[in-house]
Structure 1
Amino acid sequence: MTTKRSEPSERLRAHPAERFADDERILDLAQCTQTLLSEDHKAVDGHRQYTLSRSDTHTTILFHFEKGSRIPEHMVRGDVSIHVLDGQLEVETPSQTHRLKAEQILVLAAGVKHDVHALSETRMLLTVQLTPKQKN
């Protein structure tokens, strides 16, 4: 017998199993941004995020940053692309500080530590391509 898990009543979005069920979908980033900004909750640490697609090895997330907000240093076990849709970001890695403006993309190899600082109100599209774990 399978028991269906109950969803919390305060769920903001459709369950990921529903959101990512289709084999094909068109995502309107302007509409996704409006949905994100209209959600009735406070931005966490000055930013909001909305996962647009996810699989075992690939994730795409839309971010909206308030000016001055920051994501502290972290690293991902996969290749990362940071695509600034509008606004300006500063991304600091151990080797340099990158100032990104609209329509620029920064690509980081797996494992590169970085932090993100919004120099203005900014929309960013983050894509992560995870490296599958090796079986020994």
Structure 2
Amino acid sequence: MTTERRGEGRLRPHPTVRFAPAERKIDLDRCYDELVEEDHPAVDGHRQITIAHSNSLTLTFFHFEEGGCMPEHVVDGAVTIHVLDGYLEVETDEEIHHLEDDQLLFLAPNVEHDVRAVEDSRMLLTVHLQRKEERTTANKPD
């Protein structure tokens, strides 16, 4: 992957190209190097790249600058936030989770949360979206 613009303002190859191989080895250190070398400013103090996507599963690599954040949001699926290095705070309605190197937080579907970088950090986010029938079943009263 290069950081050149690829037609229509694309910074990276189109997802249909990036995610086509059935097997791919992903070097997270290389992902980090490429992210910090991109020629556009970070948004809210972070940069991200989706590194794998298949049906309901998405893996996204993040680099947060100190003070960077992802404002409060909710995901219609299970989420894991894996801090590869650094220090992140993830706030939910229940608690502020303090996550350091090699710690992982699991959030059930629809848990509202935000993410703040206390220091320069790298994070691997996994999202497993609920299938339509799971959403329908989960929302039915007993």
1:21, 1:7 → 2: CA distance?
A: 19
Rounded to whole Å, the distance in 2 between the matches of 1:72 and 1:35 is 24
The structural deviation recorded for 1:43 is: 0.5
How far apart, in 2, do the equivalents of 1:23 and 1:80 lie? 23
Match of 1:124 in 2: 123
TM-score by length of 2: 0.88
**TM-score, normalised with respect to structure 1:** 0.92
Say which SS state the counterpart of residue 80 (structure 1) adopts. Answer: strand
Aligned length: 130
Q: Give the superposition deviation at 1:7.
A: 4.0
Cα distance per residue 1:1-34 (max 9 Å; x no partner) = xxxxx940x3111110110000000000001111
**Matching residue of 1:3:** none
Residues in 2 aligned to 1:105 and 1:126: alpha-carbon distance in whole angstroms = 10
What runs of 5+ residues in structure 2 fail to find an aligned partner? 1-5, 137-142
Once the two structures are TM-superposed, the CA of residue 97 in structure 1 deviates from its matched residue by: 0.6
- Structure 1: which amino acid aligns with 2:64? F
**Aligned residue number for residue 74 of structure 1:** 73
CA RMSD of aligned residues (A): 1.5
Name whichever structure is richer in helix by fraction: 2
| Aligned-partner Cα distance in 2 for 1:61–1:86 | 15
The amino acid across from 1:105 in the alignment is L
Q: Where does the alignment leave 5 or more consecutive residues of structure 1 unmatched?
A: 1-5
Q: Does the alignment pair 1:54 with 2:53?
A: yes
Same amino acid, percent of matched pairs: 52
Distance in 2, Cα, partners of 1:121 & 1:7: 31
Question: Structure 1 residue runs of 4+, over 4 Å off?
Answer: none
